[in-house]
Structure 1
Amino acid sequence: MSKIDHSLFSAHEHALEKEACPECGGLLQMKNSKHGPFLGCSSYPQCDYKRALHHHGDITKVLAGSDCPECHSELAIKQGRYGMFIGCTAFPDCHHIESLAHADKTDITCPNCKSGRLVQRKSRFGKLFYACDSYPKCKYAVNEKPVAQPCPDCGWGILTEKKTAAGLRLVCPQKSCKYKSETF
């Protein structure tokens, strides 16, 4: 039988230290909310001091020579609640952000605003969808891959590819239109 190495289970010295609240001097304790764990004052509600345990938007690397298109400050790679992204270093004065993964642009014009292009995006759950690159002015989005072909029934600017058990079909994304092509 092997011996257990108790040094593997020892806690750090600072893990058992109690931290005082900077506002009232009470003890800080770990609390939970829908946004995750945080340190809060034990004298709540008399003292409402709180501090996040993790920081969203932490700068990991400033991109030297980069230029924010909105305020001309430098851009940086940041860590957010949905992963890594590129953001302006002048935040919160400037809210410019970009995705680290370059979006796959299609040559399909947005059928809703007719000025933007449909771009492939990924939801926070990892599912792909196609949305107008003029967001937030235009909030048009479809879940299936768009095809630059107008609907023969209603005239909507695009159709989408839908995989069915019978095969691939072109379907009108408009809920009011029931157009479905034959499988191919």
Structure 2
Amino acid sequence: MAGKIDESLFSAHEHALEKEERCPKCGSVLVIKHSKRGPFKACTGYPACDFVESLHHNDGHVVKELGLPCPECGNELVLRQGRFGMFIGCSAYPECQHIEKRDQEPVTEGVDVTCPECGKGKLHEKKSRFGKAFYACDAYPKCKFAVNLKPVKGCCEVCGFALLLEKQTASGEVKVCASKKCQHKQG
């Protein structure tokens, strides 16, 4: 081996902040701790002092000012980073809670797939926060119908459910009943 490991690297001060910060509540020293939700600053005076401050910035902080007016209050729209990703919202939050919704494309061009649960909404392709596609009713939150496979117009020949799903198998494409109770495969 080339050299000996410096044991001072593993001292009790491994969580010390680079610049010693003091607790705004009691004046004790702050240290960095880790939890399943990520790193945070905590007061060494715990349990007498319960001060904590998250080091993750998934709290809706402003990433970029967009220079566009909010349609509700006229203040500037900003790009924010939230816990579920980026979104556009009003800079006057929390007084104005306007959020811009992304336009969703229909599942298939020229073919409208009606929601089998509410019968009013249309199914649209959406992306989860992990980037995976799913298909949900555009009448959300009144209707919470959603499926992971691509919807196809048609009825199940066994239970009569008003929607089929396209499923890729080793033997080719199969249509499956969208009802969770049935899930009958048909040609």
Fold in common (TM above 0.5): yes
2:80 maps to 1:78:
yes
| 2:70–2:98 Cα contact (<8 Å) kept | no
| Superposed structure 1 runs of 4+ greater than 4 Å apart | 71-74, 93-96
The one-letter code of the counterpart of 1:92 is P
1:126 matched to 2:128? The reply is no
Aligned to 1:32: 34
Question: How far 1:73 moved relative to its partner?
Answer: 5.4
By how many angstroms is 1:123 displaced?
2.1
**Closer/same/farther in 2, CA of residues 30 and 62 from structure 1, 3 Å limit:** same
Unaligned residue ranges in structure 1 (runs of 5+): 1-14
| Of 60, 63, 75, the match for 2:66 | 63
CA shift for structure 1 position 68:
4.8
CA distance in 1, matches of 2:55, 2:75: 28
- 1:59 maps to amino acid: V
Aligned partners of 1:68 and 1:74 also within 8 Å: no
Quote the residue 1:173 is aligned against.
178
Note closer, same or farther for the CA distance 1:133–1:74 as it changes in structure 2 (3 Å cut): farther
Paired with 1:110 and 1:93, the residues of 2 have a C-alpha distance of 35
Contact 1:68 1:88 in 2 (8 A): no
Shift of 1:181: 1.7
More deviation in 54-63 or 28-37? 54-63
Gaps of 5+ in 2: 1-16
Q: For 1:95 and 1:148, how far apart are their aligned partners in 2? A: 37
Confirm whether residue 51 of structure 1 aligns to residue 53 of structure 2. yes
Provide the identity percentage: 51
- Counterpart residue number, 1:153: 158
Give me the TM-score of the superposition, normalised by structure 2.
0.76
How far did 1:83 drift? 2.5
Supply the distance in 2 between the matched residues of 1:58 and 1:86 (Cα, whole angstroms): 11
